[in-house]
Amino acid sequence: MAVLTTACGGGSKPAEEKKPEATADTKVAALDDAVAKRRAAREAKEQEAKDAEAKKQQQIKDLATLPEKLPKKLDKACDEVATVQDAFMQKMFPDQAAKLAAGKAKQMADTKSACMGAGSIEVAACQAKALTDAPQELRKEIPALLSACIEKYGAKPAG
Protein backbone atom coordinates (compact mmCIF):
# COMPACT_ATOMS: atom_id res chain seq x y z
CA MET A 1 0.00 0.00 0.00
CA ALA A 2 2.83 2.36 0.70
CA VAL A 3 4.03 1.77 -2.84
CA LEU A 4 0.68 2.79 -4.34
CA THR A 5 0.46 6.12 -2.55
CA THR A 6 3.96 7.10 -3.53
CA ALA A 7 3.46 6.00 -7.10
CA CYS A 8 0.32 8.11 -7.53
CA GLY A 9 2.03 11.16 -6.16
CA GLY A 10 -1.05 12.18 -4.21
CA GLY A 11 0.88 14.53 -1.97
CA SER A 12 2.38 16.72 -4.70
CA LYS A 13 -0.76 17.80 -6.59
CA PRO A 14 -2.29 20.01 -3.89
CA ALA A 15 1.04 21.77 -3.52
CA GLU A 16 1.12 22.55 -7.25
CA GLU A 17 -2.44 23.92 -7.15
CA LYS A 18 -1.66 26.15 -4.18
CA LYS A 19 1.44 27.58 -5.82
CA PRO A 20 -0.43 29.45 -8.65
CA GLU A 21 -2.99 30.77 -6.15
CA ALA A 22 -0.23 32.08 -3.91
CA THR A 23 1.40 33.76 -6.90
CA ALA A 24 -1.90 35.37 -7.91
CA ASP A 25 -2.48 36.53 -4.33
CA THR A 26 1.05 37.92 -4.24
CA LYS A 27 0.47 39.79 -7.51
CA VAL A 28 -2.82 41.25 -6.23
CA ALA A 29 -1.16 42.29 -2.97
CA ALA A 30 1.74 43.88 -4.83
CA LEU A 31 -0.71 45.70 -7.12
CA ASP A 32 -2.71 46.90 -4.11
CA ASP A 33 0.51 48.14 -2.49
CA ALA A 34 1.51 50.01 -5.65
CA VAL A 35 -1.93 51.60 -5.95
CA ALA A 36 -1.84 52.57 -2.27
CA LYS A 37 1.61 54.12 -2.67
CA ARG A 38 0.54 56.12 -5.73
CA ARG A 39 -2.61 57.26 -3.94
CA ALA A 40 -0.61 58.30 -0.88
CA ALA A 41 1.88 60.18 -3.06
CA ARG A 42 -0.94 61.92 -4.94
CA GLU A 43 -2.72 62.85 -1.71
CA ALA A 44 0.52 64.14 -0.20
CA LYS A 45 1.12 66.27 -3.29
CA GLU A 46 -2.44 67.62 -3.15
CA GLN A 47 -2.07 68.42 0.55
CA GLU A 48 1.25 70.15 -0.13
CA ALA A 49 -0.43 72.31 -2.78
CA LYS A 50 -3.28 73.15 -0.39
CA ASP A 51 -0.81 74.05 2.35
CA ALA A 52 1.20 76.26 -0.03
CA GLU A 53 -1.97 78.05 -1.14
CA ALA A 54 -3.08 78.55 2.46
CA LYS A 55 0.35 79.93 3.34
CA LYS A 56 0.22 82.31 0.37
CA GLN A 57 -3.27 83.52 1.32
CA GLN A 58 -2.11 84.10 4.90
CA GLN A 59 0.90 86.09 3.67
CA ILE A 60 -1.42 88.26 1.57
CA LYS A 61 -3.72 88.76 4.52
CA ASP A 62 -0.78 89.66 6.76
CA LEU A 63 0.46 92.26 4.27
CA ALA A 64 -2.91 94.06 4.31
CA THR A 65 -1.99 96.52 7.05
CA LEU A 66 -1.88 100.26 7.42
CA PRO A 67 1.37 102.21 7.54
CA GLU A 68 2.22 104.16 10.68
CA LYS A 69 1.34 107.45 9.02
CA LEU A 70 -1.66 107.84 6.72
CA PRO A 71 -1.69 110.30 3.82
CA LYS A 72 -3.97 113.34 4.22
CA LYS A 73 -5.58 113.38 0.75
CA LEU A 74 -7.02 110.55 -1.32
CA ASP A 75 -5.60 111.73 -4.65
CA LYS A 76 -2.07 111.87 -3.19
CA ALA A 77 -2.55 108.44 -1.63
CA CYS A 78 -3.70 107.03 -4.98
CA ASP A 79 -0.74 108.64 -6.75
CA GLU A 80 1.45 106.81 -4.25
CA VAL A 81 -0.29 103.49 -5.00
CA ALA A 82 0.34 103.95 -8.73
CA THR A 83 3.99 104.88 -8.15
CA VAL A 84 4.54 101.96 -5.77
CA GLN A 85 2.86 99.53 -8.17
CA ASP A 86 5.13 100.71 -10.98
CA ALA A 87 8.19 100.26 -8.75
CA PHE A 88 6.89 96.82 -7.74
CA MET A 89 6.56 95.79 -11.39
CA GLN A 90 10.04 97.09 -12.23
CA LYS A 91 11.54 95.24 -9.27
CA MET A 92 9.68 91.96 -9.68
CA PHE A 93 9.78 91.72 -13.48
CA PRO A 94 13.11 93.20 -14.60
CA ASP A 95 13.12 91.01 -17.72
CA GLN A 96 10.02 92.84 -19.01
CA ALA A 97 11.31 96.39 -18.58
CA ALA A 98 10.61 97.47 -22.18
CA LYS A 99 7.04 96.16 -22.10
CA LEU A 100 6.44 97.78 -18.71
CA ALA A 101 7.82 101.12 -19.89
CA ALA A 102 5.54 101.07 -22.94
CA GLY A 103 2.40 100.61 -20.85
CA LYS A 104 3.48 102.59 -17.80
CA ALA A 105 1.32 105.70 -18.31
CA LYS A 106 -1.88 103.71 -18.93
CA GLN A 107 -1.17 101.30 -16.08
CA MET A 108 -0.53 104.10 -13.61
CA ALA A 109 -3.70 105.94 -14.73
CA ASP A 110 -5.75 102.74 -14.39
CA THR A 111 -4.31 102.04 -10.96
CA LYS A 112 -5.05 105.57 -9.77
CA SER A 113 -8.58 105.41 -11.18
CA ALA A 114 -9.28 102.10 -9.42
CA CYS A 115 -7.85 103.50 -6.21
CA MET A 116 -10.02 106.62 -6.43
CA GLY A 117 -13.00 104.36 -7.06
CA ALA A 118 -12.39 102.64 -3.74
CA GLY A 119 -12.68 106.09 -2.16
CA SER A 120 -10.66 105.35 0.94
CA ILE A 121 -7.36 106.72 2.16
CA GLU A 122 -6.98 103.59 4.31
CA VAL A 123 -7.37 101.30 1.29
CA ALA A 124 -4.83 103.33 -0.70
CA ALA A 125 -2.32 103.42 2.17
CA CYS A 126 -2.75 99.67 2.73
CA GLN A 127 -2.25 98.92 -0.96
CA ALA A 128 0.91 101.01 -1.15
CA LYS A 129 2.31 99.32 1.97
CA ALA A 130 1.35 95.82 0.79
CA LEU A 131 3.06 96.31 -2.57
CA THR A 132 6.13 97.79 -0.90
CA ASP A 133 6.43 94.94 1.61
CA ALA A 134 5.51 92.03 -0.71
CA PRO A 135 8.18 89.33 -1.04
CA GLN A 136 9.34 87.87 -4.36
CA GLU A 137 7.11 84.79 -4.08
CA LEU A 138 4.03 87.05 -4.24
CA ARG A 139 5.14 88.84 -7.40
CA LYS A 140 2.19 87.53 -9.39
CA GLU A 141 -0.35 88.34 -6.68
CA ILE A 142 -0.92 92.07 -7.27
CA PRO A 143 -4.72 91.69 -7.66
CA ALA A 144 -4.91 89.63 -4.47
CA LEU A 145 -2.81 92.15 -2.54
CA LEU A 146 -4.94 95.07 -3.71
CA SER A 147 -8.17 93.16 -3.05
CA ALA A 148 -7.09 92.18 0.47
CA CYS A 149 -6.79 95.87 1.34
CA ILE A 150 -10.15 96.68 -0.22
CA GLU A 151 -11.80 93.86 1.72
CA LYS A 152 -10.18 94.89 4.98
CA TYR A 153 -10.45 98.69 4.81
CA GLY A 154 -13.01 99.39 2.09
CA ALA A 155 -16.47 100.73 2.75
CA LYS A 156 -18.85 97.98 3.75
CA PRO A 157 -22.11 97.91 1.78
CA ALA A 158 -25.13 99.12 3.72
CA GLY A 159 -27.62 96.49 4.75
Q: What's the pLDDT at 15?
A: 47
Compute CA 67 distance to the chain's CA centroid, rounded to the nearest angstrom.
Answer: 27
Question: Does the model's pTM come out above 0.75?
Answer: no
Distance CA 49, CA 55 (A): 10
pLDDT tier for residue 66 given thresholds of 50, 70 and 90: very high
- Note the pLDDT of residue 147: 92
> pLDDT tens digit string along 72-90?
999 999 999 999 999 999 8
Query: Given this model, what pLDDT does residue 154 score?
Result: 83
Other Cβ atoms closer than 10 A to 49: 10
Spatial separation of the C-alpha atoms in residues 115 and 109, rounded to whole Å? 10
Nearest CA among 118, 120, 80, 85 for reference residue 103: 85
Residues 99-150 have pLDDT tens digits of 888 888 899 999 999 999 888 999 999 999 999 999 999 989 999 999 999 9
Q: What is the pLDDT of residues 19-47, one digit of tens each?
A: 555 577 787 777 788 888 899 999 999 99
